Amino acid sequence: MQSPHDATLTELPAAGVLLAQGPQAVDLLHAQLTQDLRDWPEGSARMAAMCTPQGRMLADFLLWRESDGAIALLLDAALLEATLKRLRMFILRLKCSLEDASAQRRVFGLLEPLQAVAGSLPASLGVWQLRHDAGVTGIRLPDAPGLRRTLLVAHGEAGLAALRARHAGLAAGSEQDWQLAEIRAGIGHVGAATTQRFVPQMLNYEALGAIDFHKGCYPGQEVVARTQYRGAVKRRTFPVRGAQPMAAGDEVFSTDDPAQPCGMIVGAAPAGDGRWEALAELKLSALEHGELRLRGADGAPLQAGELPYALPAEA
């Protein structure tokens, strides 16, 4: 586990990167994702989801523009091949290309104590803002409690050398520590075990700015909009804690309704001293009645916690 006083740098091999290039790359992605890519402030990154026509998330992304105008899409590497194949189906006559750039884009996570004076990005840089410098893209992510989080993407060997030289004095972190910080920031992702399980609002994606309700159609748009405007968001993602190991895809039960699951683990990580923390997608009613249990109504107890951000009032 990371000491709260030490900064760490962790390579994230489970992250894949797609690269969309060409004059109509924005048109391709704007028509397929939940995010507005046409009205996109300079120097910022955005989250987005790709859905089935039924509104279920196939994958989620962190999007940013590279210095040459190409659009990078960060996603779970386990979903990259299927995602690339699906998006390419919609290129048709559009003047753009979409490629797997994972071999040329090495991804790292930087965790720094909030009280640290120096950081990889200027202190004035806000959440989701970015900077390109010497072959490295740095993106400020939402903080975890006590930790400043930065995603660093090295472009080729020159960028990797610059990144390593700049952070040569830092200890190597673990992927579990990075995952734990992501969980504590309240940001859930779709992976191989959970693809097509969630409508974006179930993962709080409108609260994270990953859904634009004013843009044109995209696959699943009608379901996502109906869920929002008819007050049908009955399931949300919350942090949970327990003493047993958890993994994405594990079902959560309530003692109030033991016959069927009331939710699912979105992502989990060990938190030290035999404890585990996770994000769980849950029926809101399950938080009001009964007790939460892991993998069965007679399973290990789970304690629900508070999100680090506010959900929309209609939730």
Confidence label for 120 from pLDDT (cuts 50, 70 and 90) = low
| CATH code at 8-184 | 3.30.1360.120
pLDDT of residue 124: 72
**Closest-CA residue to 174 (of 103, 279, 248, 272):** 272
pLDDT of residue 274: 92
pLDDT of residue 128: 97
pLDDT tens digits along 261-294: 999 999 999 999 899 999 999 999 999 989 999 9
| CATH code at 234-308 | 2.40.30.110
Helix (H) / strand (E) containing 166: helix 156-166
Decide if pLDDT at 117 tops 60: no
Tell me the pTM.
0.94
- Count CB-CB contacts under 10 A for residue 117: 5
pLDDT tens digits along 134-193: 999 999 999 999 999 999 999 999 999 999 999 998 999 999 999 999 999 999 999 999
What strands, in cross-sheet order, belong to the sheet with 46-51?
A: 46-51, 57-65, 71-76, 15-21, 97-100
Confidence label for 315 from pLDDT (cuts 50, 70 and 90) = very low
In the chain, the DSSP E strands lie at 8-11, 15-21, 46-51, 57-65, 71-76, 97-100, 105-113, 130-133, 136-144, 147-155, 171-172, 235-242, 251-254, 263-272, 275-283, 292-294, 301-304
**Closest-CA residue to 21 (of 9, 31, 29):** 29
Rounded Cα gap, residues 221 and 54, in angstroms: 9
**Closest-CA residue to 121 (of 112, 164, 294, 306):** 112
DSSP designation for 218: -
Where are the chain's structural domains? 8-184, 234-308
Q: On the CB side of 31, how many CA atoms lie within 13 Å of its CA?
A: 13
Q: Are 270 and 176 in contact (CB under 8 A)?
A: yes
- Count CB-CB contacts under 10 A for residue 23: 10
